Amino acid sequence: MKPPSENHDLIRWLDGEMTDAERAAFEGEMKADPALAKEAEEMRSLSASLRTHLPAEMKVPHADFFNSQIQMRIAQLEMEDSRQKPESSLESIFALFRQPWLAAASAVAVVVAGFLMIGPGGTDSEHSLILSSYTPGRGVEASTYHDSAADATVLMLDGLDEVPADRKISGISVHRSETEPEVAATTLFDAAGAPLLVISRDAAGHPLFLRNHPRG
Amino acid sequence: MPAPAATDPGEVSDVDLVKRSQAGDMRAFDTLVTKYRGRIYAMTYHLIQNETEAWDLAQEAFIKAWRALPNFKLDAAFYTWLYRIAHNVTYDWLRKKKIQGDGEFDDERTEHRVAVGAEATPKGDAAPDTALRNAELGQRIQDAIAKLSPDHRQVIILREVEGLAYEEIAALVPCSLGTVMSRLFYARKKLQEILKDVYETTL
């Protein structure tokens, strides 16, 4: 029997890496060498055990959180990339709203929409632009348009059951935003610098919206 | 290279999911994550032998894959491409940690071993004593794998779990064919030595 450090034939035989001729020659060698045959059988038994007990697929702990955290981290990276580009910082913030996964995972009861004030501040041309909207209820579709006469952005909800008269629906006007990548939270501020909305995630990785109550 | 998972009739193909992902469809990418997370996690777990680190590395692999998707030309199966990324991520981590084998592992690296051993037990209607023996053997094998050096553990996992040919292992590691064979030989000898009592009673 060859010294163990040089016996690649044994390994190649075990792993089926030999040609037919090589295999026949090696098996002939094993017949003449009981120690080699015993060694080969032990290694074959070990290989069988390894294949049985080392699964190629395993259950991922907290699998849903695994997926949602990947999505959150990708969103963060893309936001950071966007910030490095010469585009509006608000544009990058609203990339979050455009992520379908975020919308799908959200359990908020009302439509979430992003409003961006465009145009020079205080001019007549200033109005809200809806960058993205989301309806958690299936069958409900959101659309928006700017009504010049009313100087308002109108949010249309098709397919929604009648809204109770005591239900208040309001939008938010975002002036600027700040992102804390380490805690995966983005805070939106109004023109007076007051926080309007904090976008983050809960312990289970689900999107979390913390709304500041309007003053006055 | 590792074969992609079988596709059920009616299931969206990897190619379609990749193309949609490349167009920015995060839901399509999420479907790919769900489809392959168990295999990628198994690979990282076997190499790292630590549930928490393996979980993080598997995530890192998917994030790197997303970032690299624009450059993926679909000239290989998605899983093969993803597997290479996951392998490189894991091995970079091992290099950074400069982990050496032969039992030099801390307690944290062997946490959750019982649960993983139980998970590795073959499913079936085995009698309780047989199931217990299988669970115990699975645990012994997991412990033995953890005692190998990272280089030896790597080739054993690539060969025995992933079923890669020598040339594929050599290309992935990367190293020569001779090194692959030497590492496989010594890894198996080491495992035989650690599991000597098991095989003395079964052979």
Residue type, A75: A
Tokens of B138: 């699975």
Average of per-residue pLDDT across A89-114: 42
List CB contacts (< 8 A) between B86 and chain A. Answer: none
Q: Is A12 on the interface with B (CB under 8 A)?
A: yes
Between chains, do A15 and B162 touch, taking CB under 8 Å as contact?
no
Between chains, do B181 and A47 touch, taking CB under 8 Å as contact?
no
pLDDT of A140? 72
Tokens of B197: 């009592």
To test the contact with chain B by mutation, choose from A36, A38, A49 the residue with the greatest count of B C-beta atoms within 10 A, namely A49
List CB contacts (< 8 A) between A67 and chain B. Answer: 30, 33-34, 37
Between chains, do A55 and B120 touch, taking CB under 8 Å as contact?
yes
E runs forming strands in chain A: 112-118, 127-134, 141-147, 152-158, 176-180, 185-189, 195-201, 207-211
Is pLDDT of A88 > 50? no
Q: Which of A134, A129, A128 is nearest to A107 (CA)?
A: A134
Number of CB pairs, chain A paired with chain B, less than 8 A apart: 131
Closest chain A residue to B112 measured between Cα atoms?
A61
Question: B59 by DSSP, 3-state: which?
Answer: helix
pLDDT of B16? 94
Is pLDDT of B115 > 90? no
Is pLDDT of B103 > 70? no
**Beta-strand pair A112-118/A127-134:** antiparallel
Between chains, do B182 and A5 touch, taking CB under 8 Å as contact?
yes
Q: Which of B52, B16, B20, B198 is nearest to A62 (CA)?
A: B52
Between chains, do A53 and B189 touch, taking CB under 8 Å as contact?
no
Tokens of B97: 């940690």
A42-56, B22-36, B76-90, B98-112: least confident range: B98-112
pLDDT of B190? 93
To test the contact with chain A by mutation, choose from B62, B83, B190 the residue with the greatest count of A C-beta atoms within 10 A, namely B62
pLDDT of A135? 60
Task: Provide the whole-model pTM.
Answer: 0.58
Residue type, B18: V
Cis ω before A195 (30° cut-off from 0): no
Closest chain A residue to B194 measured between Cα atoms?
A46
pLDDT bucket at B170, cuts 50 / 70 / 90: very high
pLDDT in tens, A13-65: 999 999 999 999 999 999 999 999 998 998 898 998 898 888 889 999 999 99
Residues A68, A63: Cα–Cα separation, whole Å: 9
pLDDT in tens, A155-213: 677 776 666 666 666 566 666 777 766 666 777 777 777 777 777 666 655 566 666 55
Residues A193, A195: Cα–Cα separation, whole Å: 6
Nearest to A47 among B33, B160, B198 (CB): B160
* pLDDT, greater one: B57 or A2: B57
Residues A210, A182: Cα–Cα separation, whole Å: 18
pLDDT in tens, B61-97: 999 999 999 999 988 889 989 999 999 999 889 888 8
Between chains, do B39 and A56 touch, taking CB under 8 Å as contact?
yes
pLDDT bucket at A120, cuts 50 / 70 / 90: very low
List CB contacts (< 8 A) between A54 and chain B. Answer: 46, 120, 141-142, 145, 157, 160-161
